[in-house]
Amino acid sequence: MLKSLFSGVSGLQSSQVAMDIESNNIANVNTVGYKYSRANFSDLLAQTKAIATAPQGQLGGKNPVQIGLGSTVSSATRIFSQGSIQNSDKNTDVAIQGDGFFIISGDNGNTYKYTRAGDFKFDAGGNFVDNNGFIAQGWLRDPVTGKVDSTAPITSINIPPGLTTPASPTGEVVLKANLNSGPLIESFSPAYAVATGTPPSVTTPGTPDAIDSRGNPIPSGNLGVMFNETGEAFSLQKDQGVWASFISASLAGTVDVAASTGANDELDITFTLSDGSTQQITTSGATGTETATENANRYISAINAQSANTGVTATLNLTSGNPRIDLTNTNSSATASKNINFTTGANDNSGLVASNIVTAYRYQYDPAAAATGAGADKTFTTMSDLRYALERQAQAQVDVNGNNIVESNIEITVNEEGKFVIKNPGGAADDYDINLAITAYTDTGVTENIRFTRNMEALNSVLPAGSGGQAFSQSFNAATHSSSIDIFDSLGSKHTIRMEFRKTALDIATGSTWDISITVPAPATIDTTAPFDEKKGSIRFNSDGSLATYNPPNISFSGNNGSSPNQQVGFSFGTANAFDGMTSFDSRSSTSGISQDGFTGGDLIGIRIDQSGTLVGSFSNGRSFGLAQIGMAKFTNNEGLSAEGGNVYNQTANSGDPIIGTAASAGRGFIQSSALEASNVDLSRALTQLIIIQRGFQANGKTITTSDQLLQTLIGLKN
Which pLDDT does position 205 carry in this prediction? 44
| Lowest mean pLDDT, pick from 84-93, 369-378, 638-647 | 369-378
More confident residue, 274 or 541: 541
Under the banding of pLDDT at 50, 70 and 90, the label for residue 58 is confident
Which pLDDT does position 18 carry in this prediction? 87
What is the average pLDDT score of the chain? 88
Q: Is 458 helix (H, G, I), strand (E, B) or coil?
A: coil
> Is the pLDDT confidence value at 701 over 90?
no
Share of residues in the chain with pLDDT > 90 (%): 56
Under the banding of pLDDT at 50, 70 and 90, the label for residue 198 is low
Cβ within 8 Å of residue 403, ≥6 positions away: none
Query: Which CA distances in Å does 402 have to 336, 348, 514?
Result: 21, 21, 46
Identify any residues that bridge with 95 across adjacent strands, giving them in sequence order.
672
Mean pLDDT of 609-629: 94
Number of Cβ atoms within 10 Å of the Cβ of 27: 12
Query: For the segment 125-143, what is each residue's pLDDT rounded down to a tens digit?
Result: 999 999 999 999 999 999 8
Domains by residue range for the chain, with CATH: 2-80+681-716 (no CATH), 92-150+607-619+628-677 (no CATH), 172-187+479-600 (2.60.98.20), 193-246+361-472 (no CATH), 250-358 (2.60.40)
Number of Cβ atoms within 10 Å of the Cβ of 37: 20
| Lowest mean pLDDT, pick from 43-52, 107-116, 550-559 | 43-52
Q: H or E stretch including 501?
A: strand 494-507
| Lowest mean pLDDT, pick from 267-271, 321-325, 600-604, 655-659 | 267-271
Phi, psi of 530, deg, nearest 5: -70, 145
| Lowest mean pLDDT, pick from 362-371, 474-483, 536-545, 660-669 | 362-371
| Lowest mean pLDDT, pick from 200-214, 318-332, 359-373 | 200-214
79 contacts 40 by C-beta, under 8 angstroms: no
Mean pLDDT of 427-444: 85
The rounded distance, in Å, linking the Cα atoms of 595 and 582 is 14
| Lowest mean pLDDT, pick from 352-366, 485-499, 676-690 | 352-366
Which pLDDT does position 261 carry in this prediction? 74
Q: Which regions of 111-187 does DSSP assign to beta strands (E)? A: 113-115, 121-122, 128-129, 135-140, 155-156, 164-165, 172-178
Query: For the segment 335-356, what is each residue's pLDDT rounded down to a tens digit?
Result: 555 677 888 887 788 888 887 7
Mean pLDDT of 544-572: 96
Dihedral over Cα of 172, 174, 180, 181: its sign:
positive
| Lowest mean pLDDT, pick from 58-62, 428-432, 646-650 | 428-432
Which pLDDT does position 464 carry in this prediction? 92
Which pLDDT does position 619 carry in this prediction? 94
The rounded distance, in Å, linking the Cα atoms of 649 and 696 is 32
Mean pLDDT of 474-500: 96
Query: Which CA distances in Å does 8 have to 5, 115, 362, 704?
Result: 5, 39, 123, 6
Share of residues in the chain with pLDDT > 70 (%): 93
Which pLDDT does position 152 carry in this prediction? 95
Using a cut of 0.95, tell me whether the model's pTM lies above it. Answer: no
517 contacts 536 by C-beta, under 8 angstroms: yes
Q: What share of the chain is helix, strand, coil (3-state, %, to 5)?
A: 15, 40, 50
The rounded distance, in Å, linking the Cα atoms of 380 and 389 is 8
Under the banding of pLDDT at 50, 70 and 90, the label for residue 375 is low
In 3D space, the residue among 238, 208, 213, 211 whose CA is nearest the CA of residue 223 turns out to be: 238
Q: Is 556 helix (H, G, I), strand (E, B) or coil?
A: strand
Mean pLDDT of 566-587: 96
> Is the pLDDT confidence value at 401 over 70?
no
Cβ within 8 Å of residue 120, ≥6 positions away: 92, 93, 94, 128, 129, 130, 136
More confident residue, 477 or 715: 477
> Is the pLDDT confidence value at 458 over 70?
yes
The rounded distance, in Å, linking the Cα atoms of 597 and 651 is 44
> Is the pLDDT confidence value at 359 over 80?
no
Calculate ∠ Cα 573-577-583, nearest 5°: 50
More confident residue, 676 or 246: 676
Mind giving me the DSSP string for 633-645?
EE-S-GGG-EE-S
The rounded distance, in Å, linking the Cα atoms of 640 and 655 is 4
> Is the pLDDT confidence value at 211 over 90?
no
More confident residue, 699 or 681: 681
Under the banding of pLDDT at 50, 70 and 90, the label for residue 365 is very high
For 560, which DSSP code? S
Mind giving me the DSSP string for 215-245?
S-EEPPPBGGGEE-TTSBB----TT-EEEEE
Q: H or E stretch including 614?
A: strand 614-619
In 3D space, the residue among 609, 481, 529 whose CA is nearest the CA of residue 118 turns out to be: 609
Which pLDDT does position 138 carry in this prediction? 97
